[in-house]
A = this chain, B = another copy of it.
Amino acid sequence: MIQQINQLEFDPHMIRLGTGELAPALLPAAELKEILYTSSAKIDSFGYQEPLGLKQLREQISQHLKKSGIEVSPAGILIVSGALQALQLIFFGLIAPDSHVFIERPSYLSSLKLFQSRQLHFSEVPLDQEGIDIHALRCLQKRRTHSILYTIPTFHNPTGCLMSPERRRDLLHLAQQLRLPIVEDNVYYDLWLDAPPPPPLKALDDAGNVLFIDSLSKSIGPGLRIGWIAGPEPIIEQLGDLKMQHDYGSSILSQWAAAEWFASGLHEVHMQQLRQKLRQRRELMLSVLKEHFSQLATWQRPHGGFYIWLKLNRSLSMPQLFKAARRENILLNPGNIYDSLASAELRLSYAFAEPEDLKTALIRLARVLQKLA
C-alpha cells in the first residue's frame, strides 16, 4: 500500500487527505527566491565541501537550536539532505546490523519502505496521551543488547501527540539507566499552534545520549533538501564520514540558501505567518470532523504539527477503505502503514489539501465510511 500511496502522491486528480507536507500555497516561495538572490553572491566555493557541511550554516543552526534550549557547537552538527537521509545514515550506517530498534506504536518509521527490507528488529512501544509508555519500554528493553529508541516527542507522526515535560524527564532518566541511545526526531517542533512546546529531549540530555534530527522540509520547503543531525562530536564525525561515502555532501546552493534564511531573520517571520494559516486549517478540519464524523470516529485536538489521528468506531478492511476512497479521488494514509495491527485508524493532515478540497473530501469520506459500515 505504501508504494501505491507514493505513486498517487503525484496524481493531480487526487485530493490528498493525509499528506505530510505543506501545501504549495504555504511555502514561502517569494522569500526563498529573495534569499537565492542574496545568497548566490556569498557562495565562495563550488568545490567539494568539508564532511560536516557548510560552516556558516552549522553556525546558524547552532544559534537556532539555542532558542529551544539546545547547546551544541557547529562541530556537533552534520548537514544532511533531509531527515530521511539522517535516518538512513544512523540506522543503516552507524548502528550495528541486527540491532533492536524501539519505536512508538504507531510510528512514522513503520511507513518507510527502506526500513522494511533491512536487518533491523523493531519493537513497538505503546503511546498514551503524554507520549511513549515508559513502563512498557522498560519491560521490553530488559532483555536486549544493541538497542536504540526512535521517538518523535513533539507533535508525533502520525498521532499528533505531544510528550509532556514529565514524560520527557522520565524517558531520559530511563534511557540513561538502561544505556539506551535515543534518536529524537524534531521535524515538527517549530510547527506549534497553541503554545511553544516543552524543550526537546536533546535540551535536557546531559549524558550525550540523544541524537537529534531536524529539517527544513516541514516548515520551509522540502525542495531544499536540508536537514541536520546534532549529537556528541565523535558520533557526528563518524556520521560525517558516512555522509561523504554516500554523496560527498549536500548541495552547496541549498546550504547557502538555508544559512542565509536563518541569518536574514526570515525564519521567525515566516513561522509566525505559517502558524496562523495552519491554525485556520486545523480549525476547519476539526469543525468538519465535528459535523460529519461524530457518529463515526473519535479524535484529539492537535496542538501542533500536521496530523489528526482519526480513530474509527468500527474496524474495517484498510485496503478496502483505501480503494473506496480512491474511487472518490481521495488519497488516504491508512493507519496500518504506521502500525501493522491498526484496522480502525487514519492519519489525516490539515497541511496539504486546499481548504475547499479538504472540506469536500472529508464529507465524501464520511459517506464512504457510512457505506462501508
A residues neighboring B (CB under 8 Å): 3, 6, 9-10, 21-22, 24, 27-29, 32-33, 36-37, 40-41, 43, 45-51, 81-82, 84-85, 88, 112-114, 217, 220-226, 241, 244-254, 257
Contact = CB atoms under 8 A, between A and B. Distances in A.
A225 B250 contact: yes
A238 to B, nearest CB: 11
A28, A37, A250: most-surrounded residue (chain B CB, <10 A): A250
B247 A257 contact: no
Given A40-B37, A254-B251, A45 B223 contact: yes
Nearest to A352: B47
Nearest to A85: B247
A357 to B, nearest CB: 16
A113 B90 CA distance: 17
Contacts of A21: 47-48
**Closest 7 A-B residue pairs measured CB to CB?**
A46-B221, A223-B252, A251-B251, A36-B40, A46-B223, A251-B254, A253-B253
Contacts of A49: 223
Question: Most chain-B CB neighbours within 10 Å: which of A50, A82, A226?
Answer: A82
A233 to B, nearest CB: 15
Contact of A112 (B245, B253, B254): B245
A253 B251 CA distance: 8
A223 B47 contact: yes
A3 B246 CA distance: 15
A119 B257 CA distance: 38
A251 B222 contact: no
A221 B49 CA distance: 11
B47 A221 contact: yes
Contact of A114 (B32, B113, B245): B245
Given A33-B41, A36-B40, A245-B113, A223 B253 contact: yes
Contacts of A250: 81, 225, 251
A47 B222 contact: yes
Contact of A248 (B37, B225, B244): B225
Contacts of A226: 251
Given A33-B40, A43-B33, A254-B254, A82 B248 contact: yes
Contacts of A37: 37, 40
Given A29-B45, A33-B43, A224-B253, 12 more contacts: A6-B244, A33-B40, A46-B224, A47-B221, A82-B247, A84-B247, A113-B245, A223-B252, A224-B251, A224-B252, A225-B251, A251-B253
A21 B248 CA distance: 12
